[in-house]
Amino acid sequence: MELQQQRVVVIGGTSGIGLAVSRAAIGAGAEVVIASGRQASVDAALTQLGTNASGQAVDVLDPSDVAAFFDSLAGVDHLVYTAGDALSLMAINDLALRLARSFFEVRYFGALNCIHAALPQLRAGGSVTLTSGSAAERPGPGWALAASVCGAMNSLTKALAVELAPIRVNAVAPGVVRSPLWSQLSESDRDAMYNQVGQSLPVGRVGGVDDIAQAYLYCMTQGYGTGTVIEVDGGALLV
Ligand SMILES: NC(=O)c1ccc[n+]([C@@H]2O[C@H](COP(=O)([O-])OP(=O)(O)OC[C@H]3O[C@@H](n4cnc5c(N)ncnc54)[C@H](OP(=O)(O)O)[C@@H]3O)[C@@H](O)[C@H]2O)c1
């Protein structure tokens, strides 16, 4: 029980990767606090997570909402940030500047806002684990913005590892993962995408959220790595 008597806050803990991290952290003995944008998704996730979890809706882009959320917690051992909204690819030929800027809102500025508000609560020996993506290192056509957000998260991770030391700051960079993030695709398009990507990977399949959650657990429980970005992508960077 490596996280026994530790409080883990998972922003984005109501769905996909964040929900899997919350489950895994509870399995390792933690008390988990989840937050995301919609109260309905918080309530649904809490029903699944059981009595070692609590949570509330938080607008990650509202500094006073985020500050009130962290002020209500008496200490945080580990902050995990997995919040991200639906991602549409945008070819540079089709650039819509306002939409392009919005790609950074929840993933990058939301993370900054949460880290800023969490700092006074972070206990000695604590950690922050952020979310990037393999697109930073291996973008395809149409991925310029998504790749840029991931690149920004990688740089933020390294810069904060220096600035916030001895608090450790790391990031997990998933490849394609089966999760509700892709629910804007029709079921048949989604399955076709999972199959096509999976067949192209050395491991022969796309990832599941539990595959990825293990990397976040590692970031919380190990005590030496900081400023690292852990790629968990089925070998996508190699092919
Ligand atoms: N799935 C993949 O293939 C993949 C690959 C690489 C990287 N990633 C990255 O990993 C992260 C998590 O992805 P996922 O697959 O777990 O997605 P997901 O299942 O859609 O979960 C996203 C989470 O973010 C929350 N969220 C969205 N907008 C929010 C807002 N404005 N304020 C607060 N919370 C908000 C959602 O809750 P509410 O709806 O309640 O707000 C939900 O809990 C994302 O940044 C994604 O880009 C995913």
Q: How far is the CA of 239 from the centre of ligand 1 (A)?
A: 26
> Angle at which helices 16-27 and 39-49 pack, to 10 degrees?
30
pLDDT of residue 145: 94
Best residue among 9, 11, 14, 17 to mutate for probing ligand 1's pocket (most ligand atoms within 8 Å of CB) is: 17
> Is residue 101 pLDDT above 80, yes or no?
yes
pLDDT tens digits, one per residue of 160-218: 999 999 999 999 999 999 999 999 999 999 999 999 999 999 999 999 999 999 999 99
Q: Residue 87's pLDDT band (boundaries 50, 70, 90)?
A: confident
Query: Can you name the CATH fold of 7-238?
Result: Rossmann fold (3.40.50)
Distance 12 CA to ligand 1 centre (A): 6
Domain ranges of the chain: 7-238
**Which atom belonging to ligand 1 lies closest to the Cα atom of 83?**
24
What is the predicted pLDDT for the residue at 81? Answer: 99
pLDDT score of 1 more than 80: no
Segment 12-40 mean pLDDT: 98
User: Which residue numbers are catalytic?
Assistant: 132
Is there an atom of ligand 1 within 6 Å of 207 CB?
Answer: no
Give the pTM.
Answer: 0.98
Among the ranges given (13-22, 50-59, 65-74, 84-93), the one the predictor scored with the smallest mean pLDDT: 84-93
